[in-house]
Amino acid sequence: MKSEKKVAVVIGATGNLGSAICKALGEEGYYLDPVWLKNNHPDATLAKSYLNLPPKIHLAVYLAGINIIEKTEKLTEDQWNQVINVNLKGAFLLAKAAFPAMKAVRGATFITISSIMTTHPYPFRMAYAASKAGLEGLTRALAVEWGKYEISTHCIRLGHLAGLMKTTPPNPLLLKTVKEKTPSGQLIQPGDVAQYIVWLAKGGAKSVAGSIIDFDPAYTINRWPL
């Protein structure tokens, strides 16, 4: 690793969005922690998985996530724990473990990925919506604690991506309807999210911390009935 390179840790790097983020960061000259770039990466829900993080971290991104679609009355405790652990607990573990390395560089950035399900939940996604709402609270709380170390925290409340999460069953009718209700008629491109994260990491929003960013092309606010 070249000493002049900035260091990024991306949890969830092997997914659709994670791959786009890593590509953009690599093109920007970041050194990416290789541990999380492999398909057999460590379990993001275990504290021991974060024991060997780089000694200096300029950017930490948590986007690991799963979604279990089930009626609340049929959702099992194990399913609930699985969603909460991956979507929320892992972000806490990363924040705790990465803090010394981010504090060491001054001006570091910590980013989490939430979802429009927190404000516009679909049926049968209660665990997912709850976990993402918790993630937003975590990000805001860190902003209060970490501001004095010049660590900026941001949470991206993401709308519908052009590529689905691995754990979300394909639903062509749903995506077709989402497009029809989005003013631009387009879903979000992973590369656009990646470029936004690069901009944040480069200090694009230095005066902002604890923000929940609606990364959504007006789908959730479009109430035009015709």
Distance CA 226, CA 217 (A): 18
Give the residue carrying structure tokens 């919506």: 129
**What are the b/e assignments for 190-206, b being 16+ CB within 10 Å?**
bebbbbbbbebbeeebe
68 to 84, 98, 119, 181, 217: CA distances (angstroms) = 11, 28, 18, 25, 25
Distance CA 71, CA 167 (A): 16
Distance CA 43, CA 6 (A): 25
Residues ≥6 apart with Cβ < 8 Å to 190: 16, 17, 19, 20, 21, 161, 162, 163
As annotated, the active-site residues are: 128
Distance CA 5, CA 39 (A): 24
Instruction: Give me the residues paired with residue 213 across strands.
Output: 156
Dihedral of the alpha carbons of 179, 184, 190, 196, in degrees to the nearest 10: -150
